[in-house]
Amino acid sequence: MSVKRRFKQVDVFTAEPLKGNPLAVVLDAEGLSDAQLQAFARWTNLSETTFALPPTDPRADYRVRIFTPDTEFPFAGHPTLGTAHALLESGLVPKTPGTLIQECGVGLVSVKLLPEGGLAFAAPSAEISVLPASLYSLLDDAMQHGGRQTNVDAWVVTMGISWLVVRMPDAEACLRVEADIDALAALQKQAGVNGLAIYGPHPPGAAVDYEVRALLVEQNQLVEDPVTGSANACLARVLQQLNFPDGGETSQHYRVRQGTQRHRDGRVFVRYGQQQPWIGGETVTLIDGSIRL
């Protein structure tokens, strides 16, 4: 028997509707089986759908499960911000004023309410390693029309989800890349990553510091994610590892644009505090109602 449940669809990493990355959020997911969760995520056909549940850890404000149309993720960035936004908008009061504690597959993740608006999550700890030398030729095959910056290593970064983070000479080179689906699929498998995150710096004085793109093969199709919290969190860890090679203000904070090639205008900001990167952005609600599941 189906049950009426609160539901929202939100746009993450944007203050303007239709410019960010959409997320479906089921706010009352108790009683649903794993098969039902996966079936609904498949039905929404969004990159991720989240299901809010009561926490099992007394320190947490809520628990979330994150599903793609194919599988469950232990963590993802835009679902973290989007779920927090939806719960706060629906009346959730944090146990600690100004901070939500999310329970998910990687453990507890802090989400700050920012005084200027928006939310930011603490990037989970990450395992970081250099891409094996034997895979650079495959990486170059996967990235057509936009040569990477060859004097900078490519990094495999894992925080529940894994991204291969690759530096481009500049933002324009980042935007020129066209992914080869066969090479990218092989690269994902051999490198053990979920996708390819490429980034290139904008000129000094631009409104944003980096252009970012997230490319992956999913369900045998080439996908470019509009705006990706986890990829930006992995990039933040890489820049931290490299001691902020661009210098200047990026040693404390920087701004990202993502989604340009998808006709989006996602905006991500990253701030460091006590060696901890915080990945932030704004979220807007587009659909607010209920579903029957």
Chain segment 243-279, per-residue pLDDT in tens: 776 654 455 899 999 999 999 999 999 999 888 999 9
Q: Compute the mean pLDDT over every residue in the chain, rounded to the nearest whole number.
A: 95
Note the CATH number of domain 127-262.
3.10.310.10
The answer to whether the CB of 25 falls within 8 A of the CB of 8 is yes
Q: Give the number of residues written for the chain.
A: 293
Note the pTM of the prediction, 2 decimals: 0.94
The answer to whether the CB of 242 falls within 8 A of the CB of 223 is no
Cβ atoms within 10 Å of 91's Cβ, excluding its own: 7
Q: 3-class SS at 189?
A: helix
pLDDT at 245: 66
Cβ atoms within 10 Å of 215's Cβ, excluding its own: 24
The answer to whether the CB of 230 falls within 8 A of the CB of 75 is yes
Confidence of residue 189 (pLDDT cuts 50, 70, 90): very high
> Side chain identity at 130, as an amino acid letter?
V
Q: Hey, which CATH number is domain 4-122+281-292, 3.30.40.10, 3.30.420.40, 3.40.640.10, 3.10.310.10? A: 3.10.310.10
Mean pLDDT of 170-183: 98
Q: 3-class SS at 232?
A: helix
The answer to whether the CB of 282 falls within 8 A of the CB of 118 is yes
Residues 6+ apart with CB under 8 A from 46: 22, 23, 24, 69
pLDDT at 200 over 90: yes
Instruction: Please report, rounded to a whole number, the percentage of residues in the chain having pLDDT higher than 70.
Output: 98
- Cα distances from 247 to residues 130, 250, 251, 278, in angstroms, run 22, 6, 6, 18
Q: 248: closest CA among 259, 237, 239?
A: 239
pLDDT at 1: 73
The pLDDT tens digits for 26-69 are 999 999 999 999 999 999 999 999 999 999 999 999 999 999 99
Could you give the residue numbers annotated as active site? 48
4-122+281-292 and 127-262 agree in CATH topology: yes
The upper half-sphere exposure of residue 257, i.e. CA atoms within 13 Å in the direction of its Cβ, equals 19
The answer to whether the CB of 211 falls within 8 A of the CB of 171 is yes
Residue ranges per structural domain of the chain: 4-122+281-292, 127-262
